[in-house]
Amino acid sequence: MRVEIWSDIACPWCYVGKARFDKALRDFPHRAEVEVVHRSFELDPGRAKDDVQPVIDMLTRKYGMSPAQAEAGEDNLGAQAAAEGLDYRTRGRDHGSTFDMHRLLHLAKEHGRQERLLDLLYRANFAEERSVFDDDERLVELAVAAGLAEETVRAVLADPRAYADEVRADEREAAQLGATGVPFFVLDRKYGVSGAQPVEVFTRALTQAYGERAPLRIVDDGGTAGAEACGPDGCAVPQR
């Protein structure tokens, strides 16, 4: 069974939602049969790389909040994160383009390090003081810590076309599936779960999707023996 998760590193509910989903998946009895794939979704697509601003300022300008409302929202998110065992800095964080991070996540996917890099990016953005937006060296450090080769990481960051098509393809697919926000979870392309739902909701979704998988149906010519094939004991050779 495949679970695809559309998310953005700048999205606090994606940070919390992943933790809740991970808890449900950890206790899911068929965990070994579940493949998790992370997909790209930018909350601010097209945002300039050098357009970095404090989170509180971004919230007041983008959503028309007062500074007090923005701070209260961050406090609430901090409490939600803490309930999942996550660290969360409610003050002093900044906000910017996540396009390069998504490109690196596609690189990491090719090397089997996507999950590790995503976790490091989330923690760096929401829990650590050093920004992930204003210095490529920070991204290099995180990608190397995830197990990627430094030279390869630098080459991707230096070439804005590298993995750009893969990021845009994920975003187009999200739109086709009807996702207007993240996190957005798709189970076997049959069920969608929107938002940072409670652990119990993810558990029910996993159980239902797994239980409704259709068994494999064999198509042949109606005979009982089937056509010739190769197996562990070798290949059957027709006798003349």
Segment 63-97, tens digit of pLDDT: 999 999 999 999 999 999 999 999 999 999 999 99
Residue 88, Cα to own-chain centre: how many angstroms? 19
pTM score, whole prediction: 0.89
How many whole angstroms separate alpha carbon 138 and alpha carbon 134? 8
Residue 137's Cβ-count burial label (10 Å; 0-12, 13-18, 19+) is: exposed
How many whole angstroms separate alpha carbon 43 and alpha carbon 41? 7
Q: Which residues of the chain have pLDDT under 70?
A: 214-218, 220-240
Cis check for the bond before 12: say yes or no (omega within 30 of 0): no
Q: What is the pLDDT of residues 23-48, one digit of tens each?
A: 999 999 999 999 999 999 999 998 99
Query: What pLDDT is recorded for position 55?
Result: 97
**CA nearest 46: which of 126, 164, 131?**
164
Query: What pLDDT is recorded for position 237?
Result: 58
Query: What pLDDT is recorded for position 181?
Result: 93
Query: What pLDDT is recorded for position 98?
Result: 98
Query: What pLDDT is recorded for position 212?
Result: 87
Q: Compute the chain's Rg from CA coordinates.
A: 22
